[in-house]
Copies of this chain bind each other. A is one copy, B any other.
Amino acid sequence: MSIETQVDEASRVEIFDTTLRDGEQSPGISLNTQEKVEIATQLARLGVDVIEAGFPITSPGDFEAVEAIARTVSGPVVCGLARTQKADIEAVWGAVKDAERPRIHTFISTSDIHIAHQLQTDRADVKGQARAAVAHARELCADVEFSPMDATRADVEFTAEVCAIAVAEGAGVINVPDTVGYTTPEEFTAYLERLYALVPELRSVRLSVHCHDDLGLAVANSFAGVLAGARQVECAINGIGERAGNCSLEEIVMLLRTRRSDHGLDTTVETTELARTSRMVSRFTGYAVQFNKAIVGRNAFAHESGIHQDGVLKERTTYEIMDARDVGLESNSIVLGKHSGRHALKDALHELGFRVEGNALNQAFKAFKALADKKKQVTALDLEAIVSDEMRESEGRYELAWFEVEAGSRRSPLARVGVTTPAGVEATGESGGDGPVDAVFGAIQAAAATECELNQYTVSAVTEGGDALGEVTVMLRAHGRLASGQGVSTDIIEASARAYVRALSNALDGAAVREAESVAADAASSPVPPGP
């Protein structure tokens, strides 16, 4: 069902996905390496051109994840982010060097406000740092990208000088970030035109744009950038990222595709993978997509009023400018039932792109059978949810063994739980609370002998219907570390308990990592900035 994606090289816009770098910097997102690899694999299936896999200097965990993606994922360029410091650039190279097509992305601010307040240096030093960083990166890697951070609030002439240095030192991609989401389309167009005029050699490299959505203009500004000559757009699935997030990948891709005949520009993204990628990122990050989100929101293709549906039936284009099948919605054709066997499950999972073998397949089959006992029809969405859920189990962490709860409007709730500790011992806990979920959370804290502060708690249904799987996301703070966990079950209390135990494990893992990092941080010359 894919639309024709042939496009000549001059008209091809490359998609640089930063879900795992800028997106992952959002509060409470704590993806482990396995989850990051799974997302990167799906991004490769989606056909993005570049995956920014992380910011390796910031933590051993980030380094490990970037390295794992570089070694596992084939197709896209795999890139890591670095400040201009030598150690940053070498950390990126260490992590990406085994990729089919590695890239080092280095950045430094060119705006006076950042130079004065964040870098606490001067323009001459910024030029020197940019020159040294690009030169060093080029010694290590043929593919180097440079970003003048906060460019849209910077003096365009100074930014042009810095970009010219980066090009001279061998950067093949110059990325212009609207770091704080401040610019507007006509202003950004003028800025880029001026930059081209000041640095004619920009025509010989790939110009890129990186826009934030603080004023709701990230997609429009990115599109303006493309019309002005940029041939790479930095964006993230579901538009996640610092603050209001980045340009939404699915929106810029479908904008270019839908209006292609007017502008002649397009990407080579396989758009039928958009919906699934969106669901995976939403599930792993715990960041729900609002109903009225363009392209991948629940309502993006829905029509409530009578005539609307009537109009759509009569002639789809009356009210729809895109076909839901082109973004991978309404492709939910896989349906298994309680009599489906291991082979049918394996085939279905394969069709969904999950490589599940051996013990993992046994686990998935067990979960599938348990679900099929409760639900008449197990759909592709259910399979995605349970396989993703199973993937979250790993060694050396807390696990929920069992729970019991009693509650009602005329009594106080009481919960008892059994939790398997990282040492493999079962610990039990008991607690009352404001409600049954609160009581279960209290009992888990008692069993784990840890105090946590609940930060966010959300529940959503995977599919429609009363027998739907519930998907719970818990965000909590333990030992000073904010972390999230997800759980999936037809029983909301069970899903909540599993999500809580996982969030707790993630927080404790994170706290351990952080302790190790604090030594490195003390040694570092300056704290790590958020990036473009």
Contact = CB atoms under 8 A, between A and B. Distances in A.
Interface string A294-326: 110101111111111011001101111110000
A326 to B, nearest CB: 13
Contact of A465 (B243, B454, B470): B454
A126 to B, nearest CB: 15
Of the candidates A244, A254, A295, A493, the one having the most CB atoms from chain B within 10 angstroms of its own CB is: A244
Nearest to A250: B216
A358 interface: no
A255 interface: yes
Contact of A217 (B184, B242, B255, B290): B255
B454 A457 contact: no
A485 interface: no
A224 B185 contact: yes
A299 B214 contact: no
Contacts of A404: 407-411
Contacts of A294: 181, 213-216, 244
B310 A527 contact: yes
B182 A321 contact: yes
Nearest to A417: B409
Interface in A481-512: 489-494
A491 B407 contact: yes
A158 interface: no
Interface in A263-312: 287-295, 297, 299-308, 310-311
Interface string A454-478: 1111111100111110100000000
A319 B238 contact: no
Given A308-B530, A402-B408, A529-B311, A470 B457 contact: yes
A306 B27 CA distance: 11
Interface stretch (A10-18, A340-348, A435-443): A435-443
A228 B224 CA distance: 17
A405 interface: yes
A161 interface: no
12 contacts: A117-B318, A118-B318, A186-B227, A243-B303, A288-B290, A289-B290, A305-B529, A307-B527, A374-B434, A402-B409, A404-B408, A492-B492
Interface string A508-532: 0000000000000000001111100
A84 interface: no
B527 A306 contact: yes
A217 B215 contact: no
Of the candidates A187, A289, A405, the one having the most CB atoms from chain B within 10 angstroms of its own CB is: A405
Given A306-B528, A409-B403, A436 B492 contact: yes
Of the candidates A294, A297, A529, the one having the most CB atoms from chain B within 10 angstroms of its own CB is: A294
Copies in the complex: 2
A180 to B, nearest CB: 5
A388 interface: no
A528 to B, nearest CB: 6
A241 interface: yes
A31 interface: no
A466 B528 CA distance: 32
B461 A459 contact: no
A152 B258 CA distance: 15
A301 B243 contact: yes
A442 B317 CA distance: 41
A212 B467 CA distance: 34
Given A402-B408, A494-B409, A489 B435 contact: yes
Given A317-B113, A408-B402, A26 B304 contact: yes
A292 B468 contact: no
A413 B300 contact: no
B454 A494 contact: no
A240 interface: yes
Nearest to A468: B454
Interface string A188-225: 00000000000000000000000001111111110110
